[in-house]
Amino acid sequence: MLTILSNNRITQSDTARVIGGELHMPAADYATLPVASPQTQPAPLTSDTLTNVSAHCRELQRPALRNRQGDVWALGASAVERSTALQSLQAPDFTLSDLNGEPHSLSDYRGQKIFLASWSSW
């Protein structure tokens, strides 16, 4: 049994196989993983056809990593997808006081570029 981590989901697969150091699984099973979107599905999607998931991830410029034993695989999003997601994220609002005790909220600066410096003495 192989464990596949993708898009914050853990999938256990009895049908996935490691062949030549690469992850292969039936295309129909691969289609159920969250990393495989309808636009990026390998063809054909029949349950008896093995898809080289590692090669398909390379084509899509997505990372596909495994542990040494090859029984745990992590399939990630492409750099473009990660960049797009980061650009759409908004930091949660918070309020901090400056050295003079004047409170400043992040929401006061929405739409402006700001630089936050933090420090910890762990």
CA dihedral (93, 94, 99, 103) in degrees, to 10, reads: 80
The whole-number pLDDT of residue 45 equals 42
If DSSP codes are grouped into helix, strand and coil, which group holds residue 61?
A: coil
Asked if 75 and 63 count as a contact pair (C-beta separation under 8 A), the reply is yes
- Residue pLDDT, tens place only, 55-95: 988 888 889 999 999 999 999 888 888 888 788 777 778 89
Closest CA to 35 of 23, 46, 17: 23
Report residue 44's pLDDT band, with 50, 70 and 90 as the boundaries.
very low
